[in-house]
Structure 1
Amino acid sequence: MTPNELSEALSAALASAVADGTLALPADAVPASVHVERPRQREHGDWATNVALQLAKKAGVAPRVLAEDLAQRLAAHPGIKSVDIAGPGFLNITLDAAAAGELARTILAQGATYGNNDSEAGTRINLEFVSANPTGPIHIGGVRWAAVGDSLARVLQASGAVVEREYYFNDHGAQIDRFARSLLARAKGQDAPEDGYGGQYISDIAEAVIADAIAAGDPDPRTLPDDEAQEVFRARGVERMFDEIRAALHDFGVDFDVYFHEDSLHESGAVERAVQRLREGGHVFEADGATWLRTTDFGDDKDRVIIKSDGEAAYIAGDIAYYLDKRERGFDDVIIMLGADHHGYVSRMMAVCAAFGDEPGKNLQILIGQMVNLVKDGQPVRMSKRAGTVVTLEDLVDAVGVDAARYSLARSSTDSSIDLDLDLLSKATNENPVFYVQYAHARTANVARNAEAHGVSRFREDGSEAFDPSLLTHETESILLGALTEFPRVVGQAAELREPHRVARYLEALAGDYHSWYHECRVTPLGDEEVTDVHRTRLWLNDATRQVLANGLGLLGVSAPERM
C-alpha cells in the first residue's frame, strides 16, 4: 500500500463517517487527500496522521473520539494490520507485510518514472543558474550552481514542471572592457592592467585569438592600433572564453536550453520598453537629472536609479528588462540562483517584481548560495581569478571526477557554506558519501548477477511472477520498504522547497537501510539449500532498491555504476 492509497483510504473513512451522520461535517469539508508521514520511531507503526486533531474542532467532537472512529473504519481496510491511537488523537497505522511488500512490484512496474509526482504540474519555470562572466573559467562557486541548478531542474521536471534552463551571458559592461585590455596586454608581452585579469588562461586565449584572426585571413591584431586591436580581442576573446565555459559545463553533464545575451537587452530596446512599462504604472520618477524606480514602495531600503544622469542605463535596468522578458516569454515562475555576494540584490529585484504587478517569492524566486571551500592535505586551497590561482571546474573534475564533484556539491543546503575535502572525495570508502551510495547500487547489481548464477529469478519457469510480498517479514525488510515508499514524497518536497540536496540525503539513508538488509537477508541460497519463493521475492526487493537508487542518482546527474 502506497502513501497515496493510504491517504485515499483515510479520506474514504472520513466520507463514510459524514455519510452515516457520525461526523458532523459538510461533505465538502472532507479533504480529498489526507497527509500521512513516517513516524520518527519505528515501533509506532508504518504511517501516522494527525487528521483527527485537524478536523475535530470543526466537527464539534474531541480529537480522540474522532480518532477512535477512524481507527475502527480503517482496521477493516484490506492491507491494514492495525491502527493505534496515541496522545490526544494521533493515528499510528501499521500495514500487513503483503500490503507493504507490494511496493516492490509497484516500483519495478513504474521503473524510471517511480518517484515522479505532479506537485509542480502545469507550471512553466525559467531556471537561471551559473551565468558566470565570460572573463575566465568557471570557479568553484559557479561549479556549485552548475551541480545544484541542474539537479533542481531534474527534480522540478520529475515533479511535473516544464523547465527551461537558462544561462545569462554577461557580454555588456566594464568587465568585458577589462578582459579585452588584459588580452591585448598579454598579447604584447605586457603585464595585465591593474584592474585587469591575470592567469595562464589569459595568455592561452590571447594566443588563440591571434591564431584565429590569422587563420581567417584577418590581420594579426597586434599590428592594429590599440583601439581596433582591443575590439578584436573583445569579440574573439569573449567568444573563445564562452566556448570553453560551455564545453566544460557539457563535460560536467550540464547543458542549457537558452544562452541569453545581456547585450541584446540594450540593443533591442528591451530596457527602454521595461522602463516605460514601469513609468506607466506610476513607479518611475525623475530627480537629480536621473530616472529612478520607486522601489521603497515595495519594501526596498532605498529607491534605485535606473537611467543615470548621463543617459546611460544603470546595471539594474538590464535586470529589470531581463525579468520582464522572461515573464513575457510565458514563464509562471522565474528562479535565479546567485552567489552570497548578491544578497543585497534580492530586495530590489523583489520590488521590481511587485512593481510589475507580480508576486514576489512566487513569480520571482531568488536562491542565494553560500561559499565553497576546498581542502587538500588538511589545508585550504586558495583561489583568485585575477591573481591567476583560480580553482576551476576542470580542476575539481580532474581531482575527484564528475560524479564525486556533482554529488558533493549538490548534497548540502545552499544556505550553508561547505568544505570539500578533495582527499576524502577521492577515496573508495564508505566515508565518501558518493561512493557509499554508488556502492549500494553496484551491490544490488552484484546481488542480481549472483542470483541469476544460482538460479534465482523474479519469475518461475512458466513465466509467472514468483512474488509473495507476505514473505517480506524481516525487520530490515520492513525498514527498507518504508524507505522506498518515501522516495516520491522526498522528490516532491525537494521540488517544492527548491532543495535538491534532500534527494542526496535520502539516498544516503536508503543506502544504509539496504546495506543493513543485505547483511541480514539472503537472496541466494546457502550451500545445497533449495531456491524458494522467499529468495525470489527478496530479489524483487533488491531490484526495486536498485531502481530507486538509480532514479535518485539520475536526479542528481550522477551515474549508477553496475560494478565498483
Structure 2
Amino acid sequence: MTPADLSRTVLHAVHRAVAENALRAPVPARVRVERTRPGGSGDYACAVALQLAGDAGLPALEVARILRERVAAEPGIGRVEITGPGFLSFTLDAPGDSDRAVLDAVREQGSAYGHGGALRDEALRFHHAREVRAAVTADAVRRLVVSQGARVRISCEEAGEAGETEWGLLGVTVDAYGTPPVTSPADPSAPLIPVRPVPAGATARELLERLGPDATRWGLLRPASHDRAPLGDELLVQGEANPLFLVRYAYARTRALTRGAAALGFTPAIDAAPYESSARPLLDLLADHPRVLLTAARHRAPDRVARQLEAVAHAFFDFHDSCPPLPSGDEKPSAAHRSRLALAEAAGTVLAGGLSLLGISAPAHL
C-alpha cells in the first residue's frame, strides 16, 4: 500500500463514518498521511481526527476511535493505533502478505472459496412461475444463498408434463408445486419470496435444442432479472467477444498452464516472489470474490456473479500476456514463474467455482 493508497483508505473511512451518522462533520477534500518520525509508532501517521474534532463536536480521541474501527480491517493495513491527543498511526502489512493470504485461502478452500455462513440463520422460500427463466433464476439463487449457509425451499406455481424433463437437463429442481401460504406455519419468519425475471420468450426445449444447457443458463442469468435476456446464436460463438466463451476459455487456459508447468518440472509457489504491478487487478478481484458472492446472494442476483467472472477472465488474460507463467525458449523456470503460476491457478479455481454456482460446467479443454 502506497501513501496515496493509505490516504484514500482513510478518506473512505471518513466518508463511511459520516454516511453512517457516526460522525457529523464536513468531509475533507483529502487526507494527509506522513512517515512516522523517529521514535514514533507505526509506519505512517495522520492527524485527521484532530482536524475533524471541532466540527464533529467530539474529542479528537473519540473521532480517532470511530475512524480506527473503519480502517483497521482494510486490506494492506496490519495495525492501527491511537497515539498522543488523537493521532492515527498505521503499521502496514509487509508487501505481499495480504496477497499470499488470499491465494492461500483459494488453495485451501478450492471451488468453495467465497462460501460462508453469513446467511446460516435464514430459512428462505422462493416461488416462481412455470417459465424457464424463472426456474433457472430460482435455481441459481438457491445455489448462491446455500453457499452462504441459508436453508432453501423452492416451489413452482403449477406442475405439468411438458418442460419438466428439459428443466432437469438444465439442472433445475423444484421442491413443491402449487402456491404455498405466504407465511409458513412451520416457520413464520420465512415469508414466500417471488422470483419474477422478465420471461425468456422461449421454452426450455427450444433453448436446449438451439443452445445447449450451458449457453442457455448463461444467457438467462447474465442479464439482470429486470432486463430482457438476449438468447441468440452469439452465445455459441467461439471467440472472446462472447463472455461465456471468454470465461470458460480463461479457465481452460489456467489448466493448460498447470499441465505445461508439470511437463517442465515445476509447481506453483505462493511465496516464491512478489507480484508485478500488472497482477494487481487480478489479485484485487480474487480478494473481492467472497464479498461479491455474499452480495449476490443477499440481492438474489446471479448476474453479479457472471459479471465478476468476466472481470476475472479479462484480468487474467491481461496478467498472462504481460507476465507469462511459463518460461519461453531456453529460459529456465524461476521463482517469478512459480509465483505467477500460483496466481493463474487461483484465478482458475475462482472461475470454476463461480461457474458452478451458476450451474455451468467448466471444461479443462476448449
Q: TM-score, normalised on structure 1?
A: 0.51
| 1:457 shift after superposition | 0.7
Q: Which residue of 1 aligns with 2:64?
A: 66
Q: Tell me, in whole angstroms, the C-alpha distance in 2 between the residues paired with 1:411 and 1:499.
A: 10
Q: Tell me, in whole angstroms, the C-alpha distance in 2 between the residues paired with 1:46 and 1:562.
A: 43
| 1:410 shift after superposition | 0.5
Q: Which residue of 2 aligns with 1:160?
A: 149
1:451 counterpart (251, 261, 271)? 261
CA deviation profile, 1:109-150 (whole Å, cap 9, x unmatched): 011221112221111112223x42xxxxxxxxx221122111
- Structure 1 residues 46 and 410: CA distance shift in structure 2, 3 A: farther
The runs of 5 or more residues in structure 1 that have no matched partner are: 2-40, 84-90, 133-141, 171-241, 263-318, 334-362, 374-390, 459-465
- Equivalent residue pairs, number: 320
| 1:411 shift after superposition | 1.0
Q: Tell me, in whole angstroms, the C-alpha distance in 2 between the residues paired with 1:515 and 1:402.
A: 26
Single out whichever of 522-531 and 42-51 deviates more from structure 2.
42-51
Q: Which has the larger radius of gyration?
A: 1
| 1:425 shift after superposition | 1.2
CA deviation profile, 1:38-59 (whole Å, cap 9, x unmatched): xxx9995799534554533488
Q: Which residue of 1 aligns with 2:293?
A: 491
1:558 counterpart (330, 335, 360)? 360
* Residues 1:49 and 2:13 aligned together: yes
- Structure 1 residues 59 and 518: CA distance shift in structure 2, 3 A: farther
The runs of 5 or more residues in structure 2 that have no matched partner are: 25-55, 81-88
| 1:92 shift after superposition | 11
Q: Which residue of 2 aligns with 1:415?
A: 226
2:246 counterpart (436, 446, 468)? 436
* Residues 1:468 and 2:325 aligned together: no
Q: Tell me, in whole angstroms, the C-alpha distance in 1 between the residues paired with 2:13 and 2:317.
A: 29
Q: Tell me, in whole angstroms, the C-alpha distance in 2 between the residues paired with 1:92 and 1:435.
A: 44
Residue pair 1:445, 1:562 contacting (<8 A) in 2 also: yes
Q: Which residue of 1 aligns with 2:124?
A: 125
Q: Tell me, in whole angstroms, the C-alpha distance in 2 between the residues paired with 1:532 and 1:116.
A: 33
Q: Tell me, in whole angstroms, the C-alpha distance in 1 between the residues paired with 2:59 and 2:247.
A: 48
Q: Which residue of 2 aligns with 1:222?
A: none
- Give the SS at the match of 1:169: coil
- Structure 1 residues 486 and 563: CA distance shift in structure 2, 3 A: same
CA deviation profile, 1:205-232 (whole Å, cap 9, x unmatched): xxxxxxxxxxxxxxxxxxxxxxxxxxxx
Residue pair 1:124, 1:331 contacting (<8 A) in 2 also: no
- Give the SS at the match of 1:418: coil
Amino acid at match of 1:49: A
- Structure 1 residues 70 and 45: CA distance shift in structure 2, 3 A: closer
- Give the SS at the match of 2:296: helix
| 1:518 shift after superposition | 0.8
- Give the SS at the match of 1:527: coil
- Superposed, 1:276-425 pairs within 5 Å as 322-323=180-181, 327-330=184-187, 332-333=189-190, 363-372=191-200, 391-420=202-231, 422-425=232-235
| 1:244 shift after superposition | 4.1
CA deviation profile, 1:245-264 (whole Å, cap 9, x unmatched): 321111111122x233x4xx
- Superposed, 1:11-50 pairs within 5 Å as 48-50=12-14
Q: Tell me, in whole angstroms, the C-alpha distance in 2 between the residues paired with 1:467 and 1:455.
A: 17
% identity of equivalent residues: 28
Q: TM-score, normalised on structure 2?
A: 0.76
Q: Tell me, in whole angstroms, the C-alpha distance in 2 between the residues paired with 1:525 and 1:64.
A: 54
Residue pair 2:166, 2:208 contacting (<8 A) in 1 also: no
* Residues 1:146 and 2:135 aligned together: yes
Q: Tell me, in whole angstroms, the C-alpha distance in 1 between the residues paired with 2:210 and 2:248.
A: 18
1:252 counterpart (157, 170, 174)? 170
Amino acid at match of 1:503: V
CA deviation profile, 1:270-328 (whole Å, cap 9, x unmatched): xxxxxxxxxxxxxxxxxxxxxxxxxxxxxxxxxxxxxxxxxxxxxxxxx5xx315x602
Q: Which residue of 1 aligns with 2:110?
A: 111
- Structure 1 residues 63 and 117: CA distance shift in structure 2, 3 A: farther
* Residues 1:100 and 2:99 aligned together: yes
- Give the SS at the match of 1:473: coil
